[in-house]
Amino acid sequence: MFGQLAGKLGGGHIGGMIIPRLRLALLICALACGVVLATALASETYGGLVPCALCLVERWPYRIAAVLALVGLVLPRNTAWIVLGLCILVLLGGAGAGFLHVGVEQHWWPSPMPECMAPNLSGLTISERLARMPARPSKACEDPTYLLAFLPVSMAEMNMIFSLALAGGLAIFVGRNRRNLI
């Protein structure tokens, strides 16, 4: 995917400047991660969606991969290949976090995060219960959130699919360009 795109672009043209295929793959990785993070933020800000604790955890791989990819853009080629490999591993970890969240949504297993559990307020006075209430409402991790009402795919499922697709696209690019790794 990335190899074909880079090949069609002769490496990549931005503002008359030719960008080598590796740099283009890193740039695509950083931009894709940025789009995912911007979409999550926009869905909260403008869509009124409330993320659960697992949703917040699922954003970290995108942050890490975006920073790694941006750093890889300025590193020497042999080091940039290593950074691209790290991006792939981080995104696979993100897909794993997405799979964990999908499993919680489907009730295959309970959430491993205590923030996802309902608090036990039995035996407390009303004032003690009010004191334990969070300042901001939270969402149970087992309740799926749908970005688009007409699309029956939760945001956790979208995250898992997108992480796998991006990691897979980058891995295919590395596989097709393995002779240029050093």
DSSP letters along 16-46, please? Answer: TEE--HHHHHHHHHHHHHHHHHHHHHHHHHT
Confidence of residue 153 (pLDDT cuts 50, 70, 90): confident
Lowest mean pLDDT among 12-16, 126-130, 161-165: 12-16
The token pair at 20 is 């080598």
pLDDT given for residue 91 in this prediction: 97
| Pairwise CA distance, residues 85 & 74, whole Å | 16
DSSP 133: S
163 C-beta neighbours (distance < 10 Å), count: 26
pLDDT single digits (tens) 91-113:
999 999 999 988 888 888 887 77
Angle at 155 between CA 110 and CA 72, to 5 degrees: 105
Angle at 147 between CA 145 and CA 37, to 5 degrees: 95
**Residue 137, φ and ψ in degrees, nearest 5:** -65, 145
pLDDT given for residue 13 in this prediction: 44
Residue 5 or residue 108, greater confidence: 108
Partners of 18 in the β-ladder: 13
Among 2-6, 23-27, 120-124, 148-152, the range of highest mean pLDDT: 23-27
The helix (run of H) or strand (run of E) holding residue 13 is: strand 13-14
Mean pLDDT of the chain: 79
Taking phi over 0 as left and psi of -120 to 50 as alpha, with beta for the rest, 32 belongs to: alpha
Does the structure show a pLDDT above 90 at 36?
yes
Instruction: Express as a percent the part of the chain with pLDDT over 90.
Output: 36
Is residue 61 within 8 A of residue 160, CB to CB? The reply is no
pLDDT given for residue 6 in this prediction: 45
Domains of the chain: 19-117+138-177 (1.20.1550)
Lowest mean pLDDT among 43-52, 118-127, 146-155: 118-127
Contacts of 158 (CB under 8 A, 6+ apart): 147
pTM of structure = 0.76
pLDDT given for residue 18 in this prediction: 43
